[in-house]
Amino acid sequence: MVFTVKTTQKTEMIDITGQVRAHIEKAANAAGIQNGYCLIFIPHTTAAVTINESADPSVRTDIQAALERLVPEDMPYRHLEGNSPAHIRSTLVGASEWLMVENARPVLGTWQGVFFCEFDGPRTRKVHLSLMGGPS
């Protein structure tokens, strides 16, 4: 399963929980999978995925600000494209996450959401999902 995310800023965290949930439910029901796991993979070197708090948008702002302080734009990077900070931030956050699936639905805590992290936008990006499990 693949879906796209259109980003509008150089750096942003987009809540994709609804899209992930809908794709998992559709695929799980089609395949007869009730319980298992879903791998979320981002096939881009300047983007990432994470699971974190979705109730308060200031958490996203704080995460972005902390990553910008950890990996500043103005260091003497060698990469000629000029987007080394995006590559490093993507490495720190990570290209994949695993979700448990129960009753054909992703398992997330009360305050948790799935976030696509853009570090070199705006762009159109892909999110890959792979569902594994069985009917139990």
pLDDT per position in the chain (136 positions), as tens? 999 999 999 999 999 999 999 999 999 999 999 999 999 999 999 999 999 999 999 999 999 999 999 999 999 999 988 899 999 999 999 999 999 999 999 999 999 999 999 999 999 999 999 999 977 6
Write down the CATH superfamily of domain 2-134: YjbQ-like (2.60.120.460)
Helix (H) or strand (E) holding 136: none
Quote the pTM value. Answer: 0.95
Task: Tell me the domain boundaries of the chain.
Answer: 2-134
Q: Given this model, what pLDDT does residue 136 score?
A: 66
Q: Note whether 35 and 103 are within 8 A (CB).
A: yes
**Sole residue written with tokens 């305050």:** 111
Beta strands 96-102; 12-15: pairing state: unpaired
Q: Given this model, what pLDDT does residue 114 score?
A: 98
